[in-house]
A = this chain, B = another copy of it.
């Protein structure tokens, strides 16, 4: 690993900064950006922007700010987004399908967007070996093999909650070390594997709290 023990709170903000920089870079008319400006656009205080970036190096110039093009490039390297990352979607119900379509559109339209869904998996025999949006749907027990063949590094899990832990275990076994889980279930992964949860029900229930205010 390149830098030691960067806290999750810091890593979580890096994509926010990158988004602001991508926007400025592609608009073309902003060459330099201060931590003030970057923070404002990302919703983070300027001091925190500087502190976050300082974990990874010295990217700015005193009295000047950060060069948009350079900092964007560096952030892309830090986030491993400077090369294609091949992603599997496991469970192609309506949510899985929607995520595939979203990703394909994004990947097609933005040549710098390097997260690419290239393999689908499902347990339903009726779906297996058919194509969806141009991608073959594989049976889940070929996960390890397809992971190797296709160079998969990430998985998006959109299977029912009851199957989620089992699917995640298979991912881990296959060597996948970053998983985005949409199933409403508390899953466990071994040390070294990273799991993010995108549980829509949980978010809605949380929001419901504020209706009582």
In the complex, which residues 1-37 of chain A have their Cβ closer than 8 Å to any Cβ of chain B?
1-2, 11-12, 14-16, 18-19
A163 at interface by CB-CB < 8 Å: no
The docked-state distance in angstroms from the alpha carbon of A93 to that of B98 is 8
A1 partner residues in chain B, CB cutoff 8 A: 212-213
Docked CA distance A212–B85 (Å): 11
Across the interface, which residues of B come within 8 angstroms of A194, CB to CB? 207, 210
Is B154's CB under 8 angstroms from A208's CB? yes
A144 within 8 A of B: no
Grouping DSSP codes into helix (H, G, I), strand (E, B) and loop, the A interface class, with mixed when no group exceeds half, is helix
The answer to whether A209 and B80 touch (CB under 8 A), given A98-B95, A204-B115, is yes
Of residues 158 to 200 in A, which have CB atoms within 8 Å of B's CB atoms?
177-180, 184, 186, 192, 194, 196, 198, 200
Among the 9-residue stretches A45-53, A62-70, A99-107, A119-127, the one with 4 or more Cβ atoms under 8 Å from chain B is: A99-107
Give Cα A115 to B204, complex, Å: 8
Residues of B with C-beta under 8 A to A101: 94
Question: In the bound complex, how far is the Cα of B115 from the Cα of A184, in angstroms?
Answer: 15
In the complex, how many angstroms separate the beta carbon of A38 from the nearest chain B beta carbon?
Answer: 12
Instruction: Select one of B95, B153, B208, B209 contacting A102, CB under 8 A.
Output: B95
Bound-state CA distance A79–B208 (Å) is: 6
Distance to closest chain B CB from A45 (angstroms): 15
What is the CA–CA distance of A112 and B85 in the complex, to the nearest angstrom? 40
A211 touches B98 (CB 8 A): no
Q: Does A58 sit at the interface, judged by CB under 8 A?
A: no
Q: Pick from B42, B98, B184: contact of A98, CB below 8 A.
A: B98
Nearest B residue to A102 via CB reads: B95
**Additional A-B contacts beyond A81-B205, A177-B210, A196-B206 (13; CB < 8 A):** A15-B205, A19-B184, A19-B186, A43-B186, A85-B208, A94-B101, A95-B99, A115-B205, A177-B211, A178-B210, A178-B211, A180-B203, A194-B207
